[in-house]
Chains A and B, each alone.
Chain A
Amino acid sequence: MRTRRLFASVAGGALAVALLAAPSDLAAQSLMVTGYADFEALITNPDGSGNSNFIFDNHHFNLIFIGNIYKDLFAAAEVEYEHAGEEIKLEYGYLAFTGLPDIRIIAGKFIVPFGRFNKDLHPTIVNKMPDRPHGLKNILPQTYSDAGVWISGARAVGESGVRVVFDAFAVNGLLGDDGGDIRSFRDNDREKRTGDRDDNKAVGGRLGAEFGPQGLDFGASIYHGNYSNDDAVDLDLTLIGADAAFRISGLELRGEIVRASQDATGGDLTKTGGYGQAAYFVTPKFEPVVRYSMRDMPGRDADLRRLSFGLNYYVAAASSVRVAYHLNMEKEGFGTDNNEIMFQWNIML
């Protein structure tokens, strides 16, 4: 089954590339290929206090296909080739109608517009550290994309220069075991479902405000759906999140927090995760970054506090080198047995 899915993905990607290389009548549809790629080196336990690992990785070689197809019809897709080709899948593939004033209707598989990091900030050419915030991964399972319908838009608020932005979506939803790890709930597709299942869909959205000239934006997000893969049991999963960012001169402050309320027959679960980050361009090319991530899970063992120090060097507008040192901590203090050094070179294709 996995081989068949892998073959379909590779064949689909090859077909898409072949079409793009075809003569001008197809190219005239404005379809273009872009994307991003990176090389990473990861060292764990660099201080030698435990088992040490040194790994090279081609973490991403992701191709993005986008194009205005006909009048107000648009199509986009991203094919992920991750971890040196070990993981190949469609991150998103959707059709969009942009004919309504300031409103877009999207249908297909898309990155769920919850918060900011999941949809907007996760690509390595955008993320200011060579790793995702640890606090969010097991609460909002990034990168979380799903099949469904999404309505997105923006509205000006009078003459104030403020923009209100909104997203509303209905998707198949996260699906998994009773009380399980939310990160394993992705990929709710036809093959993952077993037997009959009711028609519950997950719904959610984000409402935000952006003060462009002042460099401030913030928003609130919600997701709600039945996650149980047993149709005899209804188990709700609700995610509530908040995000904010502020920019002035070369300084950027950013943060996000998510809380999950997860029904479980063994006792309901509450999970909280988030991060705060500061970055500053000391010169046009160099940007130090500091990030604090946290995660509170049922039972202490999965709790995490991480303090990360990074430095970005912008080789060019389309490429940067990032280095980061992650201090992985337990709640009581600093743990030194699983720190990490990460190096990343990324490029926008």
Chain B
Amino acid sequence: MNTIKRILLAGGLLGIAAASGPAGALAQRSGVEVWAQTCGNCHVIQPARRYTADQWASIMTHMKIASRMTDAEADAVLRFLQRGARKLASSEPVTGGGRATPDPLELAALDAAAFLATLQATPADGARLYSKECKACHGARGKGDGRAGRTMDPKPSDISDPEYLASTTDEELAQVIVEGKGEMDPFGDEFTEEQIRALVTYMRRLGELRQKPKSP
């Protein structure tokens, strides 16, 4: 084996060894975060309702290979996309010949126990939840200017608009989070009631910050 090939082999083994480690912080990134930061690195992000749940399963395997996501990241993005996937005309759940891909709601139900156990261990920190799940589309200040929402039609709502917040009750804000709206996926299976309340509180805080006069 010539010198170049020896170097390649050694470098490859060294790289793999150096890269070994627990899933760590990456496993804790939400599907939304990975979707916005990894998928959006190469191409314009496609809305979840463009494909069915079964199609998203095939696409995510293809993208996992293309973008070199970890398995945990790809699974998180797939769960997020399948929540808002386009429904087939038939009411029968679709199962692939390969990996079984049940109806999104069924998937969420299967997942809920494990998911909620993880989420309920997470403090109902509205700012942190917003950063992980909402900022990608609604922007850092809630103005609807998030990177992932750039080409959505209609654009993500300006959820820190003081006039909008003044004319909307907390229950109505919570309902949008649970059921989704327009291009926005439903998040009802992802958050506890306490976390939804924390998000609504944080949205109101963003509105207050918009109204705050700037320092001279």
Contact = CB atoms under 8 A, between A and B. Distances in A.
B96 A154 contact: no
Contacts of A31: 58
Contacts of B149: 284
B8 A213 contact: no
B13 to A, nearest CB: 9
Contacts of A204: 8
Contact of A320 (B44, B50, B147): B44
Given A30-B55, A125-B43, 19 more contacts: A28-B97, A30-B54, A30-B97, A66-B58, A67-B98, A69-B97, A70-B97, A71-B99, A74-B98, A76-B62, A104-B64, A152-B65, A153-B16, A166-B19, A205-B12, A207-B15, A224-B4, A249-B147, A284-B149
Contacts of B58: 30-32, 66-68, 74
A24 to B, nearest CB: 9
A164 B47 CA distance: 28
A168 B12 contact: yes
A215 to B, nearest CB: 7
Interface string B33-52: 11001100111111100100
A138 B166 CA distance: 61
Interface residues of A, number: 69
B109 interface: no
A238 B20 contact: no
A320 B15 CA distance: 38
Nearest to B3: A224
Contacts, number: 177
8 contacts: A71-B98, A104-B65, A153-B16, A158-B22, A163-B70, A164-B18, A205-B11, A318-B46
A40 to B, nearest CB: 19
B50 A154 contact: no
A57 B99 CA distance: 40
B138 to A, nearest CB: 13
A5 interface: no
A291 to B, nearest CB: 17
A76 B68 CA distance: 16
Interface string A74-109: 101000000000000000000010100110101000
B21 A68 contact: no
Contact of B61 (A68, A167, A348): A68
Interface stretch (B118-126, B151-159, B185-193): B151-159
Interface string A140-183: 00000000000011111111110111111000000000000000
B41 A247 contact: yes
A68 B98 contact: yes
B127 to A, nearest CB: 16
